[in-house]
């Protein structure tokens, strides 16, 4: 029988010979092969990552061609394998002309790839993504990958950076379309979050319409806290473009945008467009934020609206 | 640049060979000097903001109708009927205008809290639409919301429990329409008016009706007295439909009519050269046309058919009006004429036409010989105002391969009509009296119409009656490139080349005849003065 009180001596852990690993080798690299840290007390030079990262190179011809080829081949294949998407509502974009902001709910890292492969031409060929500066542009490698393959530009989540907003407005005015997640980050539990007014602000500044988009089914693919994707089925439902009206302000427009995404969510969940329109008119759409209550109850409620069409066998088998 | 009006070209030595449609292919025909070629008007500029135009039409109806919103109340029975697969031709690129209108109608109904809504494809005696065709017409959202609950379906003109007898007109014409429509508090009819015959009272009185009522105007006498059935003021078909429609209105059936007109932007890229005048095609288009013709001549007909049936037209909406049926239809007709009418001076001894791969009754199907005759002698011949393009006793030359091929699912009664009826006689009156009732009441055809995707047993008769005005008017019908056995069975003559056809025509119209060719499609209607 094992003696539970028995402990390995400290020396056993410390003295154990280290195993060779890639991360250990990378960590062991030192200056000049690696940048030196700014000594304590010294003012660091202005950073060229994060919100200050310059992404102009990613919109030049060669980068665009690379991105287009990568999305059309590898991107599409990966999304088809992991997300198996159904795309709806493209007919609502029939009269849309010029650049637009595509504003979607956000559940997973897979959302961006899903959006970029689901959006119709010509918008998907000239699109950029507002990505969290602290996450996607934290260092030069992730910044370059994000800029090249998803056309990302950095957006500050915690502070106002005039440069990034001006960059987004300039691009929209220059004919580029934007993918943005008005919730500001991925859902922590599968339910949606209150929309922030960024999309409304940009729509007003650049004078472009906002296309509400509802994404369903990606939470399980690459949710917050997960590092490896899992297969699922998903639906992307595009709504009718919204124009920033004269009597709108950022708050009211954001409310309209959220209501539109909620109506799309209802339409996708029930599969009954007419019933969802009836609920939308009577302002009784169930919404995307879920019920108040403890985490387990919110998770429990989520199972009620999860896709019932998944035919994979789940335990317990009956 | 504004759309140019149609053109009547006088052929001279410098005129290039003219492009003839020829089923799933083309022919180039050098016409004799002095001949005329009638080209259609260019596509009218479409409405840019379609959704706003629909919204405006529903909110500002014509005639004495209140806005649609005011007609919708909770607890009411609402029926939305819409035109079937025979319109438009070819099918239009998604989103179909019917779906766009129906969504706005339903959005108003949802706002009003209407629960009891039925959507009916008003197909009369046409074949049922498949799920894919219905989805294309109304859109996935509408289909998914209503079809699974049995609230979106094809009209069944043979359902003994589904029809309602409303009475007889003062001319003894019975009026029988869908029971659901009669019991509804409101019928919203969504129409596509591709040609001037479509729409008006014909929508409900014909689209939601069956054999008992249709036989009063789908007959030889009516068609011969319609000069032409495309010209409302001179159409007996129109007059009888109007009588039936007014009886429906007087019986208290409330109809909110929505009519749309499309421009004749018929062919998408790379086929758009087909709506150009020959001398205006650029080098790339000419090479594509030449290569396509060679390719289509080489491949099996089935493959060519599948290529052509895949064409979706980039039609643009030119007008939408809603409200009271007659007030709406008056404006609609003016808009149809704006696109289609081409002024032509005088008749001709010989009328030639290149028949394309598609007519109203072979969408996603095969154009059998009877439908070839109907397209040429029924539709193209009757696309006139005033007087026929060809003089009485003249000759019609049509270009079409006319294969003796039938779609066994869509056109079962056509096969028997061809083998049994036409083998006995091609005289429409004799056929009508001797065979029509038997085919119309045949239980097997009735079964196939109701449960499969077959046209009604009586439908081939109607197609032949459609030709009856032309058959009475002209002295000879010649089909260039037509399969001899099929052509002969219909009482026509086949010719290998246009030159042979013209030579054969001289037997009827003399040695120095005049020739007029209609360059159709895109659709044109001759205003013959």
Mean pLDDT confidence for B71-87: 96
Q: Any CB–CB contact under 8 A between A275 and chain B?
A: yes
Q: Any CB–CB contact under 8 A between B146 and chain A?
A: yes
Inspect the interface and report whether the beta carbons of A278 and B110 lie closer than 8 Å.
yes
Residue B285 lies in a domain: no
**Contact indicator for A102, A90 with CB cutoff of 8 Å:** no
Claim to verify: residue B79 and residue B38 sit in the same structural domain = no
Inspect the interface and report whether the beta carbons of A95 and B140 lie closer than 8 Å.
no
- For position A316, what pLDDT does the model report? 53
Mean pLDDT value across chain B: 96
Residue A22 lies in a domain: no
Claim to verify: residue B86 and residue B139 sit in the same structural domain = yes
Claim to verify: residue B129 and residue B70 sit in the same structural domain = yes
Claim to verify: residue B15 and residue B124 sit in the same structural domain = no
**Is residue B76 scored above 70 in pLDDT?**
yes
Query: What is the nearest CA distance from B101 to chain A, expressed in angstroms?
Result: 13
Tokens of A290: 């879920």
pLDDT digits over B89-130, tens only?
999 999 999 999 999 999 999 999 999 999 999 999 999 999
- Cβ-nearest to B51 among A88, A95, A280: A95
**Is residue B257 scored above 70 in pLDDT?**
yes
Mean pLDDT confidence for B204-216: 97
Residue A248 lies in a domain: yes
Our CA dihedral for A291, A297, A301, A307, rounded to 10 degrees, sits at 130
Q: Any CB–CB contact under 8 A between B117 and chain A?
A: yes
Inspect the interface and report whether the beta carbons of A274 and B50 lie closer than 8 Å.
no
Residue B288 lies in a domain: no
Confidence of residue A309 (pLDDT cuts 50, 70, 90): very low
**Structural domain range at position B412:** 7-43+341-528
**What CATH number is given to the structural domain containing A55?**
3.40.1130.10
- For position A311, what pLDDT does the model report? 47
**More confident position, B397 or A11:** B397
- Cβ-nearest to B111 among A94, A271, A281: A281
- Cβ-nearest to A272 among B48, B140, B145: B145
**More confident position, B7 or A224:** B7
- Residue among A30, A231, A190 at smallest CA distance from A108: A190
Residue B74 lies in a domain: yes
Mean pLDDT confidence for B195-203: 95
**Is residue A45 scored above 70 in pLDDT?**
no
Query: For chain B, how many structural domains are there in total?
Result: 2
Mean pLDDT confidence for A286-313: 64
**What CATH number is given to the structural domain containing B19?**
3.90.226.30
Claim to verify: residue B19 and residue B102 sit in the same structural domain = no
Confidence of residue A306 (pLDDT cuts 50, 70, 90): low
**What CATH number is given to the structural domain containing B243?**
3.40.50.11440
Tokens of B118: 């039925």
Claim to verify: residue B219 and residue B257 sit in the same structural domain = yes
Mean pLDDT confidence for B278-288: 91
Inspect the interface and report whether the beta carbons of B106 and A274 lie closer than 8 Å.
yes
Instruction: Tell me the chain A residues in contact with residue B48 when contact means C-beta distances shorter than 8 Å.
Output: 95
pLDDT digits over B4-58, tens only?
899 999 999 889 999 999 999 999 999 999 999 999 999 999 999 999 999 999 9
pLDDT digits over B20-35, tens only?
999 999 999 999 999 9
Mean pLDDT confidence for A221-233: 82
- For position A310, what pLDDT does the model report? 47
User: In a mutagenesis test of the A interface, which of B73, B78, B80, B110 is the best target, namely the one with the most A β-carbons within 10 Å?
Assistant: B110
**Is residue A46 scored above 70 in pLDDT?**
no
- For position A219, what pLDDT does the model report? 87
Instruction: Tell me the chain B residues in contact with residue A267 when contact means C-beta distances shorter than 8 Å.
Output: 141
- Give this prediction's pTM: 0.84
Claim to verify: residue B472 and residue B408 sit in the same structural domain = yes
User: In a mutagenesis test of the B interface, which of A266, A273, A280 is the best target, namely the one with the most B β-carbons within 10 Å?
Assistant: A273
C-alpha to C-alpha distance for B51 and B101, rounded to whole angstroms? 8
Inspect the interface and report whether the beta carbons of B51 and A277 lie closer than 8 Å.
no
Q: Mark which of B262, B290, B307 sits at the end of a domain.
A: B262
- For position B19, what pLDDT does the model report? 94
Q: Which residues contact A228 (CB under 8 A, 6 or more apart)?
A: A222
Confidence of residue A19 (pLDDT cuts 50, 70, 90): low
**Structural domain range at position A187:** 50-303
Inspect the interface and report whether the beta carbons of B110 and A274 lie closer than 8 Å.
yes
Secondary structure, 3-state, B102-123 = HHHHHHHHHHHCCCEEEEEEEC
Query: For chain A, how many structural domains are there in total?
Result: 1
Claim to verify: residue B55 and residue B190 sit in the same structural domain = yes
Instruction: Tell me the chain B residues in contact with residue A237 when contact means C-beta distances shorter than 8 Å.
Output: none
pLDDT digits over A66-116, tens only?
999 999 999 999 999 999 999 999 999 988 999 999 999 998 889 999 999
Q: Which of A39-53, A302-316, B186-200 has the highest mean pLDDT?
A: B186-200
Q: What is the ipTM of this complex?
A: 0.73
Claim to verify: residue B436 and residue B362 sit in the same structural domain = yes
Claim to verify: residue B33 and residue B126 sit in the same structural domain = no
Mean pLDDT value across chain A: 83
Claim to verify: residue B394 and residue B435 sit in the same structural domain = yes
Claim to verify: residue B28 and residue B116 sit in the same structural domain = no
Inspect the interface and report whether the beta carbons of A277 and B107 lie closer than 8 Å.
yes
Residues 37-96 of B with CB under 8 A from A: 48-51, 94-95
Instruction: Tell me the chain A residues in contact with residue B95 when contact means C-beta distances shorter than 8 Å.
Output: 91, 94
**Is residue A229 scored above 50 in pLDDT?**
yes
Q: Mark which of B262, B292, B311 sits at the end of a domain.
A: B262
Q: Mark which of B201, B236, B262 sits at the end of a domain.
A: B262
Q: What percent of chain B has pLDDT over 90?
A: 96
**Is residue B206 scored above 90 in pLDDT?**
yes
**Is residue A4 scored above 60 in pLDDT?**
no
Q: Which residues contact B523 (CB under 8 A, 6 or more apart)?
A: B40, B194, B195, B264, B266, B340, B383
User: In a mutagenesis test of the B interface, which of A91, A95, A274 is the best target, namely the one with the most B β-carbons within 10 Å?
Assistant: A274
- For position A36, what pLDDT does the model report? 67
C-alpha to C-alpha distance for A54 and A52, rounded to whole angstroms? 6
Instruction: Tell me the chain B residues in contact with residue A97 when contact means C-beta distances shorter than 8 Å.
Output: none
């Amino acid at each position: 029988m094992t003696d539970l009180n028995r402990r390995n001596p400290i020396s056993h852990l410390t003295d154990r010979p280290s195993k060779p690993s890639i991360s250990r080798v990378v960590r062991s690299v030192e200056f000049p092969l690696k940048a030196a840290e700014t000594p304590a007390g010294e003012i660091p030079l202005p950073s060229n990552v994060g919100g200050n990262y310059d992404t102009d190179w990613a919109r030049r011809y060669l980068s665009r061609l690379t991105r287009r080829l990568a999305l059309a081949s590898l991107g599409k294949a990966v999304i088809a394998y992991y997300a198996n998407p159904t795309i709806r509502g493209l007919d609502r974009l029939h009269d849309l002309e010029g650049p637009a902001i595509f504003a979607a709910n956000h559940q997973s890292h897979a959302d961006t790839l899903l959006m970029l492969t689901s959006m119709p031409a010509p918008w998907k060929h000239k699109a950029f993504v507002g990505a969290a500066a602290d996450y996607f542009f934290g260092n030069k490698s992730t910044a370059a990958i994000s800029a090249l393959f998803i056309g990302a530009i950095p957006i500050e989540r915690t502070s106002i950076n005039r440069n990034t907003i001006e960059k987004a407005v300039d691009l929209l005015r220059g004919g580029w379309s934007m993918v943005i997640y008005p919730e500001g980050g991925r859902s922590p539990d599968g339910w949606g979050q209150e929309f922030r007014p960024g999309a409304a602000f940009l729509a007003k500044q650049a004078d472009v319409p906002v296309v509400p988009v509802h994404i369903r089914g990606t939470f399980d693919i690459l949710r917050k806290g997960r590092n490896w994707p899992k297969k699922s089925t998903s639906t992307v439902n595009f709504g009718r473009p919204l124009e920033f009206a004269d009597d709108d302000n950022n708050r009211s427009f954001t409310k309209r945008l959220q209501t539109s995404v909620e109506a799309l969510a209802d339409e996708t969940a029930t599969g009954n467009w007419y019933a969802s329109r009836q609920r939308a008119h009577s302002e009784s759409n169930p919404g995307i934020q879920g019920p108040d209550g403890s985490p387990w109850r919110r998770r429990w409620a989520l199972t009620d609206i999860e896709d019932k069409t998944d035919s994979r066998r789940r335990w317990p088998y009956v | 640049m504004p759309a140019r009006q149609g053109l009547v070209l006088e052929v001279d030595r410098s005129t290039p060979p003219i492009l003839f449609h020829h089923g799933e292919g083309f022919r180039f025909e050098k016409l004799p000097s002095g001949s005329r070629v009638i080209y259609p008007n260019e596509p009218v500029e479409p409405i840019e903001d379609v959704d706003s135009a629909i919204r405006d039409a529903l909110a500002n109806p014509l005639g004495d109708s209140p806005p649609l919103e005011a007609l919708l109340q909770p607890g009411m029975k609402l029926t939305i009927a819409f035109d079937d697969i025979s319109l438009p031709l070819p099918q239009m690129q998604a989103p179909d205008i019917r779906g766009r209108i129906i969504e706005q109608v339903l959005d108003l109904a949802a706002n009003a809290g209407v629960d009891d809504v039925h959507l009916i494809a008003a197909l009369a005696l046409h074949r049922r639409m498949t799920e894919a065709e219905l989805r294309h017409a109304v859109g996935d959202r509408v289909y998914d919301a209503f079809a699974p609950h049995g609230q979106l379906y094809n009209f069944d003109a043979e359902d003994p429990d589904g029809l309602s007898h409303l009475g007889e007109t003062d001319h003894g014409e019975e009026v029988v329409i869908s029971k659901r429509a009669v019991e509804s508090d409101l019928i919203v009819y969504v129409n596509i008016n591709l040609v001037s015959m479509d729409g008006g009272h014909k929508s409900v009185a014909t689209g939601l009706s069956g054999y008992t009522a249709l036989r009063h105007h789908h007959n030889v006498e009516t068609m011969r007295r319609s000069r032409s059935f495309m010209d409302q003021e001179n159409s007996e078909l129109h007059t009888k439909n109007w009588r039936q429609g007014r009886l429906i209105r007087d019986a208290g059936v409330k109809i909110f009519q929505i009519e749309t007109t499309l421009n004749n932007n018929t062919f998408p890229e790379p086929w758009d050269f087909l709506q150009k005048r020959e001398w205006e095609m650029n080098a790339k288009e000419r090479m594509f046309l030449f290569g396509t013709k060679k390719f289509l001549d080489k491949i099996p007909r089935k493959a060519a058919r599948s290529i052509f049936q895949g064409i979706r037209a980039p039609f643009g909406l030119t007008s939408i009006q809603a409200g009271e049926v007659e007030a709406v239809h008056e404006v609609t007709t003016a808009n149809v004429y704006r696109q289609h009418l081409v002024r032509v001076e005088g008749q001709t001894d010989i009328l030639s036409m290149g028949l394309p791969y598609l007519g109203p009754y072979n969408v996603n199907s095969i154009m059998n010989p009877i439908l070839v005759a109907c397209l040429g002698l029924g539709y193209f011949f009757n696309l006139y105002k005033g007087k026929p393009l060809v003089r009485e006793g003249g000759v019609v030359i049509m270009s079409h391969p006319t294969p003796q091929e039938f779609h066994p699912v869509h056109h079962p009664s056509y096969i028997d009509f061809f083998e049994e009826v036409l083998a006995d006689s091609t005289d429409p009156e004799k056929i009508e009296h001797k065979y029509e009732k038997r085919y119309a009441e045949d239980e097997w055809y009735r079964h196939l119409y109701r449960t499969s995707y077959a046209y009604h047993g009586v439908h081939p008769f109607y197609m032949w009656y459609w030709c009856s005005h032309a058959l009475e008017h002209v002295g000879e019908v010649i089909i260039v490139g037509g399969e001899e056995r099929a052509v002969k069975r219909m009482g026509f003559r086949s010719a290998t080349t246009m030159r042979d056809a013209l030579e054969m025509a001289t037997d009827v119209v003399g040695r120095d005849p005049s020739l007029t060719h209609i360059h159709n499609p895109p659709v044109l209607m001759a205003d013959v003065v």
